[in-house]
Amino acid sequence: MSRDFDPSGSVRSAAALNEQIRALWMRAGGSLSAQERSEYELLVVRWAEAIRGEIIEAA
């Protein structure tokens, strides 16, 4: 698991999560292992939740 991965479920901004996603892809060189794929999927779900939260706050 990467050092940036936070399994605790803490809330982070969409921008911070997006950076983690980009960093994961850069480290992986464009091809994710099974473990990296799991991390990626979780990050994308959390990113989507953060985006929704930011949209609700803005409204």
Could you tell me which residues come within 8 angstroms of residue 51 by beta carbon, excluding any fewer than 6 positions away?
Answer: 14
Give the other-Cβ count within 10 Å of 54's Cβ: 13
Q: Which pLDDT tens digit goes with each residue over 34-55? A: 999 999 999 999 999 999 988 8
Q: Which pLDDT tens digit goes with each residue over 10-19? A: 567 999 999 9
The position carrying tokens 């939740």 is 49
Give the containing element (helix H, strand E) for 26.
helix 14-28
What is the reported pLDDT for 51? 92
What is the reported pLDDT for 2? 46
Which pTM does this prediction carry? 0.73
